[in-house]
Structure 1
């Protein structure tokens, strides 16, 4: 797994403006993936970021890049807590929540839609997605919006601008460590 994938798919998290990002990448060997993620974590953990495989299936790995402190803040939201409790999470322990998410991803056929709470999606939009079965949304960007459309569009623009700037800096030779904001 290349650092290029991290920059391409996770710039807002690297920049500290988003709790987490997900992306899928080829995975020919779990052993190699573990080594690559260990090397990445050595670079990023001092900056407040963790990189984990959430699921490895059919030659692909689903990678979660996140800021544990930001996740703790996100999961402390009362609306997020209520939703997480409904699906068997213990919201007061973000680490346990990530472990439970991994279990749900590996055990369930349907994708656990509460995953949006781990990616800085507003709780009202995650709940709206679940209740409306992905229909009747106000707009679509990084996620389907059911709540504050104006705020969501502003976030989408921020994430897009960040990704473009990070991509440019990466192409100009900035290292992943230099691109990652400590937090």
Structure 2
């Protein structure tokens, strides 16, 4: 556990230099669930009225982004039910997160990185771009490029 914490502190520094942050959401045995995010983007997303309404309906009370993250972390740790609103923290379209929650994961138009309830064509194009990006990064990593050099600065 100490080794993991030391490693995470080193990565937090690397990420901060690139405009990213890292938060440990949960530890389980020898594993950790990490949330890596761009603070500026998260603040923008969480200040949106529609996002706030969805989160408030799920019991979130926050003025600052860190308060919302703490609430998400507590919901993940509680284990009561999976917090599907996590999609709002991952940059998924609000309409799709809301659609997933309302439909309990059923009746989607298509599936990719998330289940799509609106804007199917746009989502499919995004999934295609993500897949291409994943392939490029996997190829670079396999070729010996260090992760530090692949992080895009904000």
Give the TM-score, by structure 1 length. 0.79
Q: Distance in 1 between matches of 2:53 and 2:75?
A: 17
* Structure-1 residue corresponding to 2:24: 53
Shift of 1:36: 1.1
Q: Greater CA radius of gyration, 1 or 2? A: 2
How many residues align? The count is 154
Match for 1:113 among 77, 84, 87?
A: 84
Q: Distance in 1 between matches of 2:90 and 2:15?
A: 18
* Structure-2 residue corresponding to 1:78: 49
Q: Which runs of 5+ in 1 are unaligned?
A: 1-28
Q: Distance in 2 between matches of 1:113 and 1:139?
A: 17
Match for 1:99 among 65, 70, 77?
A: 70
Q: Distance in 2 between matches of 1:99 and 1:35?
A: 22
Query: Matches of residues 127-142 of structure 1 in structure 2 within 5 Å?
Result: 127-142=98-113
How much is the aligned-residue C-alpha RMSD, in angstroms?
1.4
SS of residue matched to 2:85: helix
Query: Matches of residues 64-75 of structure 1 in structure 2 within 5 Å?
Result: 64-75=35-46
Give the TM-score, by structure 2 length. 0.93
Q: Distance in 2 between matches of 1:79 and 1:147?
A: 15
